[in-house]
Amino acid sequence: MIEVPNISVPLRDLERAGDEMAAVRKAAQKRLHVAPDAIASLEIRRRSIDARRGRPITVVYTVRCFMRGGTNSERALLSSIGRRGRGPKVEVVEPDGNPVPLVSGAPLSDGERPVVVGAGCAGLFCAWALARQGLCPVLVERGDDAARRTALIDRFDRTGELDCESNIQFGLGGAGTFSDGKLTTGTRSPYHRAILEALVAGGASPRILFEAKPHVGSDVLPRVVTHIAREVERLGGEVRHRCRLTGLRVEGSGLGRRVTGVELAWREGRPAPSPDAPVGAPGPERAETLAASCVVLACGHSARDVFELLRDLDVAMERKTFSMGARIEHLQADVDRCQYGPAAGSPLLGAAPYKLVSHVRGAAPAYSFCMCPGGYVVAAASEAHGVVTNGMSLAARDGANANSGILVNVNPGDLPGDDVLAGVALQRRCEQTAYAAGGGAFRAPAQLVGDFLAGTPSSGPGHVAPTYPRGVTWGSLDGLLPETVLGAMRAGIPAMAGKLRCFADPEAVLTGVETRSSSPVRVVRDKGYESVSVAGLFPVGEGAGYAGGIMSAAADGVGCAMAVAGRIRNA
């Protein structure tokens, strides 16, 4: 097949055609200078929107063309383009192979099964990749399956009754399940395509295979992660919900330390209680120890008790840069107009995203993060008496507001003392202060952007209605975050408005605090994904400090699975 990049189709041509694929096919034929019937079939490999100011909006495609006549026709076409001396940059490519092999027949090992702790993006895809290779992993997750977890989150939003073990942070799919499912990443990995195909097999839109800024939607993700978990089980793995890591068995001393097992507390075969049953209604936990010489630690950035466990075991960790700030909400219609001008509202464009960063002399950089077009601010707490915000969108992205984190980095040198978990302590302190400022019951403190910039408390909303589900308490964000963070936000918002005019809208809403965008620690590992201080322990994903989103975390988990499989094969 022939791959052709950078086929630009004006938006107006797509709208006139009424059939996107037909319009792209016509553009590809024109680009290749071939007859209408020369292309047997066409596959879109990438789709992006070019909405740079001063130009008509175009949609840019990379396509793969299967030429009628097969390989001989492709070679002839390439030869013809070469003779012309000028023409499209094209190349012959082979069909994609899956870099995560599916092993048929008996498992590769009849011995100990690898244990994966945490069923977020990294852990779930690590278990999936291990299962595909016949290694029958045991995947343990402290939270619930997707259906029960969704019911508990809905109840928390209604009543403020928080289950500290099953919430937006904990449960099948991890925090990413309820943050829109954005799949953009700045990393490269040979596993990205296989991960996307697994998501599509679970029910995600096939468009994620080619959209430049793909997303799944938090209304679709629960069934997608459920499908992947069932695939792990179908391939011989085991998935345990409400199963919490309480300890690691470690033998040896010094450089010879190695993991030999995990200590768990879980509720085997517990019935699924009504979502309206009191928190903690399930039966008592029971303790169990599983022998394991390969333990993948994919606990996520909110599993603070796991960080404490690792610190107490002298597992090598280090402070790392993390971010703090608040959620900012605008009317999505305003963002659309700023980004797309007269074309705003076109169904071919959808709700407009943005990605902004500010560099103001005398202030730390501020940047937008996890931008959710047509989305909602969510209550993402996992601890009592602490307010945490995040954002999500449904698949349709049709909410009235756009929201994004506006964040500022906190560097290791900004933290006091020498405790490796000083960043966790700062996060918790800000969350508890926000809880008090909100007045309890997980209400969140909120302030209008204009008042925030002026240093004046707010008394109520303007034309942007906040979407945080537990309700907001109007006032000031001052005192809720470090002064360096607040100062950078105040400098950054007007600077960002230079790129997106509506960003400094005085009636846009800031809701605080956002503290869980990244992990404040890194569990130190080597190039083979293994802890430098405990053999057989494999820290992966965002919580371990090696990823920054769904795709990078999932790819980190798959890469780790391949390393573990190699270890077991060669044992």
* Residue 290 predicted with pLDDT over 80: yes
Which ranges of 183-297 would DSSP assign to H, the alpha helix? 192-201, 221-234
Is residue 113 very low, low, confident or very high in pLDDT (cuts 50, 70, 90)?
very high
Distance CA 275, CA 271 (A): 12
When pLDDT is cut at 50, 70 and 90, the band that residue 227 belongs to is very high
Q: Is residue 138 classed as helix, strand or coil in its secondary structure? A: strand
Instruction: Please report the pLDDT score of residue 68 as a whole number.
Output: 85
Element (H, E) at 77: helix 70-84
Q: How far is residue 393's CA from residue 178's CA, in Å, rounded to a whole number? A: 8
273 C-beta neighbours (distance < 10 Å), count: 14
**How many CB atoms are located within 10 Å of the residue 254 CB?**
6
CB contact set of 343 (below 8 Å; sequence gap of 6+): 11, 51, 57, 349
Question: pLDDT (tens digit, 9 = 90+) per residue, 292-326?
Answer: 999 999 999 999 999 999 999 999 999 999 999 99
Report, as an integer, the average pLDDT of 333-339: 97
26-40, 80-94, 462-476, 548-562: least confident range: 80-94
Q: Return phi, psi of residue 329, to 5°.
A: -120, 135
Q: Name which of 372, 431, 452 is nearest 405 in CA terms.
A: 372
Among 39-53, 388-402, 407-421, the range scoring the smallest mean pLDDT is 39-53
Structure-block tokens of residue 515: 């503290």
Closest CA to 259 of 466, 564, 569, 508: 564
Give the percent of the chain with pLDDT over 70. Answer: 95
Q: List strand residue ranges (DSSP E) for 134-200, in order.
A: 138-140
What's at 250, amino acid-wise? V
The torsion defined by the Cα of 444, 143, 543 and 367, in degrees rounded to 10, comes to -30
> What is the model's pLDDT at position 273?
46
What does R_g of the chain's alpha carbons equal in angstroms?
Answer: 25
Name the band, by pLDDT with cuts 50, 70 and 90, for residue 85. low
Tokens (6 digits) for 427:
């996060």
* Strand partners of residue 245: 264
Give the orientation angle of helix 221-234 with respect to helix 146-159, to 10 degrees. 150
Question: How is residue 145 written in tokens?
Answer: 């399956």
Range scoring the smallest mean pLDDT among 8-12, 64-68, 121-125, 270-274: 270-274
DSSP state of 413: G
Give the span between the Cα atoms of 43 and 193, in whole angstroms.
15
Three-state DSSP class for residue 4: strand
CA angle 405-493-491, nearest 5°? 115
Residue 109 confidence class, pLDDT cut points 50, 70, 90: low
What's the pTM value of the predicted model, to 2 decimals? 0.93
Q: Which of 542, 481, 534 is nearest to 510 (CA)?
A: 481
Domains and CATH numbers, the chain: 2-92 (3.30.70.2700), 115-318+521-569 (3.50.50.60), 322-514 (no CATH)
* Separation CA 269–CA 440 (nearest Å): 35
The Cα–Cα gap between 20 and 77 comes to 25
Mean pLDDT of all residues in 499-519? 97
Reported as a pLDDT band with limits 50, 70 and 90, residue 386 is very high
